[in-house]
Amino acid sequence: MKQYLNYVNGKWVESPKTFDDISPVDGSLVATVHEASRELVNEAVSAGHRALAGEWGRTSAAQRVVLLRRIADEMERRQDDFLAAEMADTGKPLAMASSIDVPRGIANFRAFADMLATAPLDSHRLDLPEGAYALNYAARKPLGVVGVISPWNLPLLLLTWKVAPALACGNSVVVKPSEETPGSATLLAEVMEAAGVPAGAFNLVHGFGPNSAGEFVASHPDISAITFTGESRTGSAIMRAAAEGVKPVSFELGGKNAAIIFADCDFEKMLDGMMRALFLNSGQVCLCSERVYVERSIFDRFCTALVERIKAMKVDWPHDPDTHMGPLISAKHRDKVLSYFQLAREEGATFLAGGRVPDFGDKRDLGAWVEPTVITGLSDDARSVREEIFGPICHVAPFDNEREVIARANDTRYGLAATIWTSNLSRAHRVGEAMRVGISWVNTWFLRDLRTPFGGAGISGIGREGGMHSLNFYSELTNVCVRVDAEAENV
């Protein structure tokens, strides 16, 4: 049986306390995970500071660029191992893990290596009287030891999305992956060791949130900054802990995202896109659309077509290359999603598809599966329409005009993403900019240049990641101002 150890100061560390990593596919044991104690987290933070005072702190930007590319090369060499670990922990289909999760995890290191190599120098000249001038330039320095707390839905992708720019800027990191998905993070520690990352620059601690490694990292007085992706409620708790030391935070949190479908859309392309936006990773993507607004003239046509597409979906073993949807992450999360199915029934929803646990008649019945589900008939103030469910479910409702649907889509405490489907270019720009979200997609979904800003509004997050936005978060900018006097006249 696999053992997932902690990795601190360049060494693999066992713990007396362990927990089980369970497959959501069939309930089998994937690995035994060693839970980090408070003392081990303290050692990880101390190791990070020692690395900054030693070899790691003396690396130049050019050397870090080379190192990040070496990490990407080593990840690519072990691509099959990452694929196996990601699928074992999450149960996501082979088609998704092999085309999105692992390739994007590798790409994050290469992308931030390129960005660091080409980052512009912020410099300005201020002319002064009598020929003197002041030269101002910004020196980019690491923040220190960064706490990285990553989620279970896209474990490798979102972990590397934070670790790559943090290391690029010269920080040390203490990584706490989700207790549900420790496998790919442990493999990443192996890659760091093989790539020659100095001891203490990358540290990995396993555990849970409250009274465990997550809380120990978030509340540690010597952590310099915290980056977190996950549930909004957890983000609030981490923010309270970070406030004690006035630490910078970068949060990408939950969403109750709207999709707006106008009658003039390319109907088949829209359906292709919406099937991904609703059911990719079993709806366990913070960017998925849980609220779908359809112009009334095509509402019935859309509902009928969506149900037909769902009937053709293959919900099956993850290693089958034709599988469209796998299980939810855990039995606990399935219970949460099922509780919302029941709530929707109590609120008067009509179930157009799904709403149940599939009966396979094999070991999958011990897993965390639910059917892809579509409901309709609820008011916009129903809890099922307002609260994030984070599963393969959406509520579909008709609308009559542009102004109305903008108001309804924006009537939420969340503000992560929106998707607009229309062939009218002016409307696309109007509605896209009117959405109170971090990203508006038009006639597409889950597509983004890694250099662009990414984040949420409202309770969907704080700050932006991506490109220079990430480099600026993970570094401290010091303005150096040098006065240059005019040349003295020859005597």
Amino acid, single-letter form, for residue 44: A
| 286 is known as an active-site residue | yes
Choice among 74, 180, 215, 252 that is catalytic: 252
Taking the C-alpha atoms of residue 264 and residue 93, their distance in angstroms, rounded to an integer, is 33
Choice among 286, 288, 303, 394 that is catalytic: 286
User: Which H/E stretch holds residue 127?
Assistant: strand 123-127
Output the CA angle 88-113-168, nearest 5 degrees.
85
The Cα-based distances of 287 to 283, 411, 437, 441, 460 in angstroms read 9, 17, 11, 11, 10
| 252 is known as an active-site residue | yes
Token pair 């990601």 is at which residue?
86
Output the CA angle 359-363-365, nearest 5 degrees.
30
CA atoms within 13 A on the CB side of 435: 25
Taking the C-alpha atoms of residue 131 and residue 133, their distance in angstroms, rounded to an integer, is 7
**Do the Cβ atoms of 182 and 89 come closer than 8 Å?**
yes
User: Burial level of 258, CB count in 10 A (0-12/13-18/19+)?
Assistant: buried
Taking the C-alpha atoms of residue 399 and residue 299, their distance in angstroms, rounded to an integer, is 9
Tokens matching residue 450: 């890694």
Residue 466 neighbours by CB distance under 10 Å: 20
Token pair 């008709």 is at which residue?
398
Taking the C-alpha atoms of residue 423 and residue 248, their distance in angstroms, rounded to an integer, is 41
* Catalytic residue list: 252, 286
